[in-house]
Chains A and B, each alone.
Chain A
Amino acid sequence: MSDTGPDDLKRLGARLEQVQQRKQSATQAPPTQMGIAFRFATELVAALVVGGAMGWGLDWLFGHFGFHTKPWLMIVFFLLGAAAGIRNVMRAANELNAQMAASNAPSVPNDEEN
């Protein structure tokens, strides 16, 4: 073909890019249902554990300096941990949504888009 103009080249470039993108999204393995559920569960529980442990540690620390806060910081931080857990799950769900949108799969509807 002798009439290969820059337009043809551009079109070829665009098509190559499309193929490349399709290939790339195919290599990104979509997480299994089990994997998603497991991820959310660990995020939630881990935050509770960390929150509780932090409160307990602070109580212990303050106890050494003569402040008797004994159960209260643990209770407060346990609740904060619960909040952090919810925050983690929300973040994980957003990440999954972005990942699935990138691979053109139907995503979980999100009515809180930014």
Chain B
Amino acid sequence: MAMHPMEQFEVKPLIEHPLFQIAHHPIYFTNQSLLMCIVVAAASLFLTLAVSGRRLVPSRMQSMAEVSYEFVANIIHSSAGEDGLKFFPFVFTLFIFVLFCNFFGMVPGSFTVTSQIAVTFALAAFVVLMVIIVGFMKHGLGFLKLFVPKAPIYLLFLLVPIEVISFLTRPISLSVRLFANMLAGHTMLAVFAGFVVMLGSAGGVLSVLSIAPMFLIVAIMLLEFLVAFLQAYVFAILTCIYLNEALHLHDHH
């Protein structure tokens, strides 16, 4: 067949020559870098232009920006409490970046940055690293109490490793969830699109049937828009939950 469903996830350099080298590894400007640049530019343009009017009665653009601001502020407030709001810039940037990456990936022919585990894992590792740093800064060595559940002492030698492993799974489950959702959705779209082409070129009655997967694609497309938003939301809310644990240790139980 003309197109392989996984072809859309291929990272390829756009400029022949590597931009620079890090420890003898050539660093290329790829289609992924291009999409990331577009996403960052679009997000900053949207947010700065939307609020530049500073109207008391907001225009449409401005109220979109305000709604996204309040949405994230609400997430943080409800899951990390009042002092979680200090981390608003961090969580908001993460949310907007993931959301825009997901939505720009929905444009046919573009590239989904968040379908690369390298990208999502970097984001998730960044979140967990910050949680650890915040925890140690706030509680000092008392942060290690996070790994000591309330239990009889003779059980602790078993429970502490379990808690440590459970903590270390966070970057993995956080990144795998985002990456796998985007990968699965876009692969599904490509597979059904392949059906349209195959049925259409089969000739006869089968050509007429090719309209059926076409409708299915429209439906899946709508679902994918929902998933694109939901995954950005889940990423933000889990970041807040982890932050909450670093800020308040066990007292949320």
Contacts and interface: CB of A to CB of B under 8 A. Distances in A.
Given A28-B78, A42-B177, A46-B172, A87 B233 contact: no
B176 interface: yes
B161 to A, nearest CB: 5
Contact of A47 (B71, B78, B158, B165): B165
Interface string A41-78: 01100110111001000000000000000000000010
A9 interface: no
Interface residues of A, number: 29
A14 to B, nearest CB: 20
B78 A46 contact: no
Would you call the interface of chain B mostly helix, strand, loop, or mixed?
Answer: helix
B165 A51 contact: yes
Contacts of B166: 47, 84-85, 87-88, 91
Of A29, A84, A85, A88, most buried by chain B (CB within 10 Å of CB) is A84
B159 to A, nearest CB: 9
A29 B169 contact: no
Counting from the closest, the 4 A-B pairs by CB-CB distance are A84-B165, A84-B166, A46-B172, A46-B169
Interface of B: 71, 74-75, 78, 158, 161-163, 165-166, 168-169, 172-173, 176-177, 180-181, 226, 229-230, 233-234, 241, 253
